[in-house]
Amino acid sequence: MDARTTAPIPVASRIGGFVYAIRNIVSEARKVEAAGRRVRYLNIGDPIIFGFVTPPHLIETVARAMRDGHNGYAPSVGIPAARESVAAECERRGMPVSPDRVVITSGTSEGIELALTALAEAGDDVLIPVPTYPLYTAVLAKIGARAVFYRTDPARGWMPDVDHVRSLITPATRALVVIDPNNPTGASYSAETRRALVELADRHNFALLADEVYADLAFDGPVPALAAGFPDAPVITFSSLSKAYLAPGWRAGWMAVSNTPRMDEALAAIKKLADGRLCATGPMEYAIVAALDGDRSHQEAFRHALRVRAELTTSRLNAIDGIDVVAPTAAFYAMPRVTLPPGKTDADYVLALLRATGILCVYGSGFGTRPEDGFFRIVFLASPEELSGIYDDIAGFTRTFLS
């Protein structure tokens, strides 16, 4: 065989920009496991692996749908009943849309990809928070559009810096991404900040992509739609069964496009793209109806469990010399900061923590913060007892690392 036929098959250069640290870091954890140490995985926001259970009525609905023969392709935009349930849910949250403006997706993730693909050309700008959920930057890298980062401020409870957002707007701006409640910071935004962000999109005429996958998981109760009170603003909302309905593996999500003619072309483009991937996961679409129209009592217990873990996380981490953390008000993430010695990075700290204790977090630079700033993200879904042991170990390790 000559060298030409044995050379590696080349891959597209765009893959170089597609970075998803939450999973990439797992290869490091596998090495630690191979060396015989147990790893405690605090890197991924999956409630199921920490013992939270999918509501039985949702499981029964999916099983029934399969038994009833709903195993073929669904309509590319989703089954009518699921679209109606999502439209009714949007209306309850203050964003009235007709079912025709809803598309059922394979998780929030697919909605994000469809929307960015529909809205941004190569070279266009999309405003993204820092820290960010890394799928946004990964998809933009794939499209060739530019992620333009706006600050969210730990000194103000991780609130977006609206003046900074405003200063970044140019004729090339195609969309503003707002994640509220937020991953990775665990923040939920003030009404004033939310209003200011929607007004910017409205006035400057670009789409606001409202990632509301944690809307039911604010500890004080569900938060309204970002678009609530702005019926004519150009907004796309995204959510799914992954977090608040404890079914991340089902890949059952939705997007809804606000009811303004300004968004009609975007909606048509999204539907066109949706046709190409045939449909979302069919039997799970029936569970969207059961989830949104049915019993949600599991959510109250889940919110309570999260609040208890958030309080433990805040008090235990803030008691460690060299670490401070903003108290989360939603979801299951905290973004502590360790005051690093000169020359060290967040990845140095996170990898040393992993090797010394088996605790796996994700370094802040995986979410776009500067490596020298020392941020890292903790998923606090483990039981309070287990978390308590984890925070003991983080305290012991940090003392040594900083000494």
Ligand X SMILES: Cc1ncc(COP(=O)(O)O)c(C=O)c1O
Q: Determine if 107 is a binding residue for ligand X (CB under 6 A).
A: yes
Q: Given the complex with ligand X, which of 158 and 401 has the nearer CB atom?
A: 158
CB distance 210 to 238 below 8 Å: yes
Q: Determine if 109 is a binding residue for ligand X (CB under 6 A).
A: yes
Q: Determine if 325 is a binding residue for ligand X (CB under 6 A).
A: no
Angle between helices 107-119 and 135-143 (to 10 degrees): 40
**How many angstroms separate the CA atoms of 141 and 154, rounded?**
27
Binding piece for ligand X, criterion CB under 6 A, among 9-17, 104-112, 344-352, 386-394 = 104-112
Please count the residues of this chain forming the interface with ligand X, following the rule CB under 6 A.
Answer: 13
Question: Minimal CA–CA distance to 285: which of 82, 87, 44?
Answer: 82
CB distance 254 to 82 below 8 Å: yes
**Residue nearest ligand X (C-beta atom):** 107
Q: Determine if 185 is a binding residue for ligand X (CB under 6 A).
A: no
**How many angstroms separate the CA atoms of 206 and 10, rounded?**
37
> How many Cα atoms sit within 13 Å of 239 on the Cβ side?
32
* E strands in 108-267: 125-130, 146-153, 159-160, 173-179, 207-211, 235-240, 253-257
Burial 8-38 (b: 16+ CB within 10 A, else e): eeeeeeeeeeeeebbeebbebbeebeeeeee
Q: Determine if 179 is a binding residue for ligand X (CB under 6 A).
A: yes
Q: Determine if 96 is a binding residue for ligand X (CB under 6 A).
A: no
Q: Given the complex with ligand X, which of 20 and 265 has the nearer CB atom?
A: 20
Q: Given the complex with ligand X, which of 206 and 254 has the nearer CB atom?
A: 254
Q: Given the complex with ligand X, which of 280 and 394 has the nearer CB atom?
A: 280
Quote the least distance from Cβ 395 to ligand X, whole Å: 27
Quote the least distance from Cβ 341 to ligand X, whole Å: 31
Near ligand X in 62-81, by CB under 6 A: none
| Cis peptide, bond prior to residue 231, ω within 30 of zero | no
Phi, psi of 350 (to 5 degrees): -65, -40
Quote the least distance from Cβ 302 to ligand X, whole Å: 15
Question: Minimal CA–CA distance to 274: which of 115, 143, 142?
Answer: 115
Q: Determine if 133 is a binding residue for ligand X (CB under 6 A).
A: yes
Q: Given the complex with ligand X, which of 124 and 211 has the nearer CB atom?
A: 211
Near ligand X in 342-401, by CB under 6 A: none
One residue of 187, 213, 225, 382 binding ligand X per CB under 6 A? 213
The tokens describing 55, both together, are: 């509501």
Quote the least distance from Cβ 134 to ligand X, whole Å: 9
Question: Minimal CA–CA distance to 173: which of 119, 232, 236?
Answer: 119
Quote the least distance from Cβ 67 to ligand X, whole Å: 25
One residue of 43, 61, 85, 108 binding ligand X per CB under 6 A? 108
Q: Determine if 314 is a binding residue for ligand X (CB under 6 A).
A: no
Q: Given the complex with ligand X, which of 133 and 150 has the nearer CB atom?
A: 133
- What x/- string results for residues 223 through 242 when contact with ligand X is judged by CB under 6 A? -----------------x-x
Binding piece for ligand X, criterion CB under 6 A, among 55-63, 105-113, 286-294, 362-370 = 105-113
Cβ neighbours around 123 below 10 Å, total: 10
Alpha-helical segments (H) within 257-383: 264-276, 282-293, 297-318, 346-357
Binding-site ranges for ligand X (CB under 6 A): 45, 107-109, 133, 179, 183, 211, 213, 240, 242, 248, 253
